[in-house]
Amino acid sequence: MSEQKSMAYEIRVVLLLGLAYGFAFYDRMTMSFLSPMVQKEFSLNNAQIGALGSGLSLTWALGAYFIGRWSDKLGVRKPFLLGAMLIFSACSVLSGFSVGFWSLLSTRVLMGLVEGPFLPICLAFIAAASPDHRRGLNSGLVQNVFGALLGNALAPIVVVWIAVHWGWRSSFFMAGLPGLILFFIVWKFINEPARPAPLPAGEKEKGGTIIAMLKERNIALCAAMSPLLIGTLILGSIFMPLYLTGPRGYSNETMSWIMAVTGLCPAIGAVIITSISDRIGRKLPMIVGATITAGFPLAAIYYDGPVQIMTAIMFVSYLGIGMFPLYMGVVPAETLKFRNIAAGMGIVVAIGELTGGVIAPIVAGWLADRTTLETPLLIAAAMSLIGGFVCLFLKETNPAVLARREAAAGVATA
């Protein structure tokens, strides 16, 4: 394949898988933006709202590792990718037919099971199609740019607008359509990625078990920061709309615009942070990104000025979410040398979802029922700050940076 064709295929993979993941994330986030309306109609308490997010996160975690590992063992990606797109799109439609808490929970649980491995498998396609100097950027484009633009920026406006005009059930129905359309496009235009090249003579294959992977320092650290950073994201997505329309007293429309504006941050942050990481290394951008994200919930709680300025402060701090593709995909892939990477990424996602995505929303919702809605947001801020601290102990993985360091060390000892 020529360089021009390689570049063309790389762009095609990033575009189509970016759209596919973006609408998968749109489906996931739809529940968060509809939560005030659903809560009112079904008379749900805050703990039940948290459980809807937790149930999806639980199966997201299980699917991320076990289905990701299944994909690694079979050595194929595309059938898993296409199957997930069909099922999560159908689940979104089924959510619109819910008659109460338990029927809604069941559709979210099934959606999580197939969406969990979707991102690791998408990133495995990206790793195979991308050269070293664009791997971080391309991963960031798929996970954060498309995910943020469709799931965080477009979703709150479109979802709430449809719900206001035609009812919240219509929002669920409409959310499932893009995934069904993209299924056919991805099936036709995305190829099964080639398997990794054989290991050099004398080098052993890294194990595919959870214990074997967690013996890798970076995998263990990414798995440790994952609950903290996913917890920050999940708590913010679940409880920020409730806080803005509750204690802050904003309308559903104002809330949707605040969430939409700040929803652009992961996209912009991903381009900035992953591009920088391709040049200076992964570690420092991850430290800074995780730390500044704490300002997102803190601004909502403590800033009492105009809503526009509050939103601007939240916007700047939320740029830190741009580091997510690094700890979820790029660092694990580079650490494992692109073997067992769906399972490796799945471990990081699974551990994060099980604790930060499952336990944190339930506990935070329970505490919110007994204190105030500020509590989940304060927990989110604390998680972000601790996540930044964990990043301090990472080992650099950027191949270009490591090569420069090795060359510099060779010159110094010559």
Helices (H), 281-339: 283-292, 295-302, 307-318, 324-325, 331-335
What are the tokens at 281? Answer: 């290394």
Amino acid, single-letter form, for residue 175 = A
CATH number, position 105: 1.20.1250.20
Instruction: Look at residue 316 and tell me if it is in a domain.
Output: yes
pLDDT of residue 413: 66
Tell me whether residue 197 is in a domain: no
**What residues contact 412, with CB distance under 8 A and at least 6 apart?**
none
Q: What angle do CA 90, 54, 355 make, to 5 degrees?
A: 130
- The three-state DSSP-derived secondary structure of 123-177 is HHHHHHHCCHHHHHHHHHHHHHHHHHHHHHHHHHHHHHHHHHHHCHHHHHHHHCH
Per-residue tokens: 338: 């692109």
Could you tell me if residue 45 is inside a domain? yes
What is the pTM (predicted TM-score) of this model?
A: 0.72
Question: Distance between CA atoms of 79 and 82, rounded to whole angstroms?
Answer: 5
**pLDDT for the residue 103:** 92
In a domain? residue 33: yes
Is 142 within the bounds of a domain?
yes
Does residue 220 sit within a domain?
A: yes
CA dihedral 307, 308, 313, 314 (to 10 degrees): 70
The rounded distance, in Å, linking the Cα atoms of 388 and 276 is 17
pLDDT for 1 equals 44
Burial of 195 (0-12, 13-18, 19+ CB in 10 A): exposed
Number of domains in the chain: 1
Q: Is residue 201 part of a domain?
A: no
pLDDT, position 290? 95
327 falls within a domain: yes
Domain range for 185: 7-192+210-409
Walking along the chain (414 residues) 10 residues at a time, the average pLDDT comes out as 64 91 87 87 85 83 83 83 91 91 92 86 82 78 79 82 92 91 92 67 58 87 93 88 91 86 83 90 95 95 93 94 88 78 79 82 89 94 96 92 83 64
